[in-house]
A and B are shown apart, each in its own frame.
Chain A
């Protein structure tokens, strides 16, 4: 009887619990608390944290690959969608169906702001190289500065899979912290007079322009940077589905149920990659710090380009809208709107900031394509 009891204890998860498991379970519980109680990016943080919890319970074997004819763990199979780069483009498909490129088409100059805000990606890339990381790791860390979760996950799975959980967590954490990180940078780089600038109302955009934009963008961007095709292609397909108005049921599905299905699959499988051996290292701290630098430099790059455009246009552009170029749709645009109202209560910058904001989505996908073509 004692042998049977001993066997039961030895094969239980409790007997196999190490200090790393305990720390990771504790971390998962903190993330669950932040998602549920504080509402930090709950749609992604909740499944990520639960995936972390599941994979750190000893002997659950949910991420085990199939061996000797026996089936693998459930999360192993679901993870293939992340590893093979399927879920992030699908998220882009859904994202495209929610994005309105109207403000960008109405004021195409804002594309430059979306480009300038990508400088953070390359500054962090350079910093990571200086810290002795490989170009593949440096690229994956730099892309955090794009403030675009699916792009960061996509690039990391292609270049530095081992960094996936920490990069996904850092990217989504900084996106949730946009309202805290961006305002001090915006205020430090702009004068009160610049923040008070009111911009002219945007011209209306015709349906034809909105339909042609995703088609033409797909052709031009993919011709120049073919490696960005999974992200740009899916983003523009989603947008064309929406703007064509001929398949409303597909649009509705992409904007709602399909988006949530892919989100939970992506979240739980990214979290499932987070075991103690990966997360509890000095490298993790470096990634977190470089990610923050990338994000801050991206914001600064956008604002500085905004200042330049403000000067060149004789004060017609409020430089703050450059901060929205880091992507993080629509949070970064909302931050700009809030700061604009603070400087001048009658200032309405939301639609103006949406231009660089959606340009940032294209910009970060192109940046990922450029990095993939260098190191993929």
Chain B
């Protein structure tokens, strides 16, 4: 019933994997960046977002 192009699907799966890997790579880099920010600028007593 369906004219399935298996080559396209295979390519699609590959892109899906690469795409998610790309997103996680970027977000993981941001995670490391945030950790670096937390370590570099520790919270001082009495200082908060509003300051």
A residues near B, CB below 8 A? 102, 104-105, 108-109, 111-112, 114-115, 118-119, 121-123, 125-126, 129-130, 132, 135, 138, 203-210, 212-213, 216-217, 220-221, 224-225, 359, 362-363, 366-367, 370-371, 374
Q: Which 10 A-B pairs have the closest CB atoms?
A: A108-B34, A204-B48, A122-B16, A129-B12, A115-B27, A111-B27, A370-B22, A126-B12, A209-B37, A108-B31
Shortest Cβ gap from B3 to chain A (Å): 7
Given A102-B49, A112-B27, the answer on whether A125 and B16 have CB atoms closer than 8 Å is yes
Given A220-B26, A370-B19, the answer on whether A129 and B9 have CB atoms closer than 8 Å is yes
The listed residue (B24, B28, B37) touching A105 by CB distance below 8 A is B37
We find that the number of chain B residues with CB closer than 8 angstroms to chain A is 36
Query: Would you list 13 pairs from A and B whose C-beta atoms are within 8 A, ordered by A residue?
Result: A108-B34, A108-B38, A109-B31, A111-B27, A118-B20, A122-B15, A126-B13, A130-B4, A135-B8, A220-B33, A224-B25, A362-B27, A366-B22
Query: Across the interface, which residues of B come within 8 angstroms of A374, CB to CB?
Result: 15, 19
Known: A125-B15, A130-B12, A221-B30. 20 other contacts (CB 8 A): A105-B34, A105-B37, A108-B30, A111-B27, A111-B28, A114-B27, A119-B20, A135-B12, A206-B43, A206-B44, A207-B51, A209-B37, A212-B37, A220-B26, A224-B22, A224-B25, A224-B26, A362-B26, A367-B23, A370-B22
B residues near A, CB below 8 A? 2-5, 8-9, 11-13, 15-16, 18-20, 22-31, 33-35, 37-38, 41, 43-44, 47-49, 51
Query: Across the interface, which residues of A come within 8 angstroms of B28, CB to CB?
Result: 111-112
Shortest Cβ gap from B42 to chain A (Å): 9
Q: How far is the CA of A125 from the CA of B9 in the complex (A)?
A: 10
Q: How far is the CA of A359 from the CA of B26 in the complex (A)?
A: 11
